[in-house]
Amino acid sequence: MNLDALWTAEFQVRGGWTNGGVVVVENGRIFGGDRDYWYAGRLSLNQDEESISGHLKVVHYHGDRAAAFGDVGPVFSLEIQGTVLSPAAISGVLKRPGLGNLAFRLTKREEIS
């Protein structure tokens, strides 16, 4: 499976699956954002080809500073762990030290060729 693509991202918060954004994965790098934060980091398919792992730097750039973790941090880091459900779907957790985990899901929208 190739992760290089445009993906939509959704995060599970108290109100359900909200706080969506988009990410682009290319050559092990991930870039994206939503209406208030941009993200950059690394994402890779693990050797089992059934799971992913990586890390993200998340930076506030606009609007309210209300991260899905419930705080108002302007810059923070996340660890990514997920499961490949199909070639077009991934689900997993974002881990933030001291603040717990947040479920996410990615849906592939366009291949990068």
The pLDDT value recorded for residue 19 is 67
Domain containing residue 55: CATH number = 2.40.128.380
Query: In the chain, how many domains are there?
Result: 1
The predicted pLDDT at position 99 comes to: 82
For residue 48, the model assigns a pLDDT of 95
pLDDT at 3: 96
* pLDDT tens column, 19-47: 689 999 999 999 999 988 999 999 999 99
Boundaries of domain holding 24: 5-111
Total-model pTM: 0.89
Structure token pair of residue 94: 């974002």
pLDDT (tens digit per residue) in 60-111: 999 877 666 666 678 999 999 999 999 999 999 999 988 889 999 999 999 9
Classify burial at 81, counting beta carbons within 10 Å of its beta carbon; exposed 0-12, middle 13-18, buried 19 or more.
Answer: middle
Those residues whose C-beta lies under 8 Å from the C-beta of residue 65, and which sit 6 or more positions away, are: 36, 72, 73, 74
- Distance from C-alpha of 84 to C-alpha of 50, rounded to nearest angstrom: 5
